[in-house]
Amino acid sequence: MNDSKMITVTSPLLPDLKEFYNSLEKIWDSKWLTNNGSFHQRLEKALAEYLGVEYISLFTNGTLPLITALQALGLTKGEVITTPYSFVATTHSIWWNGLTPVFVDVDPNTGNIDPEKIEAAITEDTVAIMPVHVYGQPCDHERIEAIAKKHNLKVIYDAAHAFGVCKNGESVLKWGDISTLSFHATKVYGTIEGGAIVCRSREMKTKIDNLRNFGIVDEVSVAYPGINGKMDEARAAFGLLNLKQVDAAISKRKQVAERYRKELTGVDGVTFLQEETNIRYNYGYFPIFVNEEKYGISRDALYVKLKENNILGRRYFYPLISTFEPYRTYFSAAPSNLPIATKMAEEVLCLPIHHALSNEEVSRIVDIVRKIK
């Protein structure tokens, strides 16, 4: 173990502390701590503008939006087609609604659900498709939504990685029936814990806002068995301040991604996902894929070697969700049904990427991956 500073895969975006104190003073003065207060309202408005969407509802984390999205669309029975190559919350949200997850393999070029394989997984019980824009790579939404239309299915995008991502100038959050975001501290944009739902109509936003607050419609009526998903004023204030610096953070991330691309191109046995020119990325992750035969050592050996040098890569997304205890016995969870996702999970290593990473730190990482050190 060397004594250099620990480098983590990401680092939270933190607002200026004095500015945060000022916001807290305002909250103390108002004595309004939660339940759609003024910071909450301002953050919803500011995010709608920043993201280029019309209807957004803030939540206390990024998992309740997934659970609530299924509720809002009235999906309480049947099967939901999804990807095994994601954070476990995606599949958990299906389970929490009493629905059955059905895993479909991914496209090796993006890591996203492969539209070619969706139709074969549709049965008379299928009610929705829940894809993930993994690493902020936009899904093939045109094909996914054509299939959904043909079979009368809802589409909920888990856009936890896609904050600010646009394709051909349009926010990916406008796709499908509903998209959900996470503002967890480890994400590109954070409110400590937090999240949101983006939807298509005023009526749907009202329903989602009600579901977020126990299903309460007014003082004397409860329309749905809702949940408590409300964001508080302190975190909304934190989020408002972070919104001012998220563009600068994304620019810094972009510089890191460009250096990795430049310096790791041509390393035998190391590949990465290709970028397209019509997409605005947020550079939330930098996954590399390590082919043991060509690289000489396994992904896990490289992971350990980095760790020995105080560099913490993360194996997102290994193990696959479909291999975890609650889901491994599902018919669709068989590794033979998911060969591409299985291979990606075995080869992937996300390298450190964040706004505070120095050039010297990137050099240390690159040197190890290139086996110079």
Ligand X SMILES: *Cc1c(COP(=O)(O)O)cnc(C)c1O
User: Which contacts (CB < 8 Å, 24+ apart) does range 256-259 have?
Assistant: 256/283, 256/286, 256/353, 256/354, 256/357, 256/362, 257/281, 257/283, 257/286, 257/353, 259/359, 259/362, 259/366
350 and 285 in contact (C-beta within 8 Å)? yes
Q: Shortest gap between Cβ of 157 and ligand X (angstroms)?
A: 10
Closest CB to ligand X: residue number: 62
Does 68 contact ligand X by CB under 6 A? Answer: no
Q: Shortest gap between Cβ of 267 and ligand X (angstroms)?
A: 27
Query: C-alpha dihedral over 203, 223, 216, 152, to 10 degrees?
Result: -40
Tell me which of 182, 322, 332, 342 binds ligand X, using CB under 6 A. 182
Per rule CB under 6 A, is residue 90 in the interface with ligand X? yes
Q: Which of 89, 106, 321, 353 binds ligand X (CB under 6 A)?
A: 89
227 binds ligand X (CB under 6 A): no
Q: Does 155 bind ligand X (CB under 6 A)?
A: no
Would you say 59 or 260 has its CB closer to ligand X?
Answer: 59
- Closest listed residue to residue 242, CA positions, set 198, 197, 192, 281: 192
Q: Which of 55, 85, 87, 285 binds ligand X (CB under 6 A)?
A: 87
Does 160 sit near ligand X (CB under 6 A)? Answer: yes
| 8-state DSSP, 182 | E
Query: How many residues contact ligand X, by CB under 6 A?
Result: 14
Give how far Cα 172 sits from Cα of 122, 179, 274, 331, 363, Å: 24, 9, 18, 31, 33
Does 62 sit near ligand X (CB under 6 A)? yes
Binding pattern for the stretch 120-139 against ligand X, x by CB under 6 A and - elsewhere: ------------x-------
Q: With binding defined as CB under 6 A, does residue 63 bind ligand X?
A: yes
Residues that bind ligand X (CB under 6 A): 61-63, 86-87, 89-90, 132, 158, 160-161, 182, 184, 195
